[in-house]
């Protein structure tokens, strides 16, 4: 057999969006049950946001939030993971981290499961806006980022994961998820390279 089997490049399309996944206080504050220190990740995400603004690229953020205090709308995920009570609507855990440089004009997608596509209108929003490429930062690499990447590819969008702007509680899971995504589901890039591409996107 000839040619490279795994890890080929999908490449950027013509119309990207910056998708920042679940950078909420439940995950970015180390003293919370699901939290960890995300200081470096926030710096990288903000670099991407500034570049997107400069290049007139839309920015969207996501969060996980449950309406029911008993977490019945989290289904079996609540049973499997546990400690999701910090993600009930109305609590501080569901708030976007104030250090993230988003504005009231940036749309916020609320979801209940790992993938940003599952049970949401994300695919139709992106299609209506003519988006073909998702530049992805956020949390967590092995969970919501990976699940979103798999669904993005399956929906026909080009996933570009910014490898130093995603993070995970477990370093090994982070490394393994990046390798898996690069092999089968996404292109990987750096904050520096992605920011340059976002900032200098050719105009129509």
Active site residues: 144
What is the DSSP annotation of the chain? --S--S-------SSEEEEEE--BHHHH-TTSTT----HHHHHHHHHHHHHHHHTT--EEEEEE-BS-TT-GGGHHHHHHH--GGGGBTTSGGGSBPTTS---TTS-EEEESSSSSSTTSSHHHHHHHHT--EEEEEEE-IIIIIHHHHHHHHHTT-EEEEEEEEEE-SSHHHHHHHHHHHHHHT-EEE-HHHHHHHHHTPPP-
């Amino acid at each position: 057999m000839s040619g490279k089997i795994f890890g080929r490049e999908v490449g950027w399309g013509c119309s990207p969006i910056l998708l920042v996944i679940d950078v909420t206080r439940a995950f970015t504050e180390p003293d919370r049950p699901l939290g960890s220190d995300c200081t470096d990740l926030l710096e990288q995400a903000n670099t991407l946001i500034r570049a997107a603004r400069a290049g007139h690229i839309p920015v969207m953020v996501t969060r996980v939030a449950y309406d029911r205090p008993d977490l019945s709308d989290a289904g079996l995920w609540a049973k499997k993971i546990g400690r999701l009570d910090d993600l009930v609507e109305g609590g501080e855990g569901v708030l976007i981290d104030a250090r993230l440089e988003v504005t009231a004009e940036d749309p916020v997608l609320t979801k209940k499961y790992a993938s940003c596509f599952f049970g949401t209108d994300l695919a139709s929003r992106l299609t209506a806006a003519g988006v073909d490429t998702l530049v992805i930062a956020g949390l967590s690499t092995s969970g919501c980022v990976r699940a979103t990447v798999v669904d993005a590819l399956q929906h026909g969008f080009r996933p570009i994961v910014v490898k130093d702007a995603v993070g995970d509680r477990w370093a090994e899971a982070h490394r393994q998820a990046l390798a898996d995504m690069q092999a089968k589901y996404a292109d990987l890039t750096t904050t520096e390279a992605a920011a340059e591409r976002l900032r200098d996107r050719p105009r129509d």
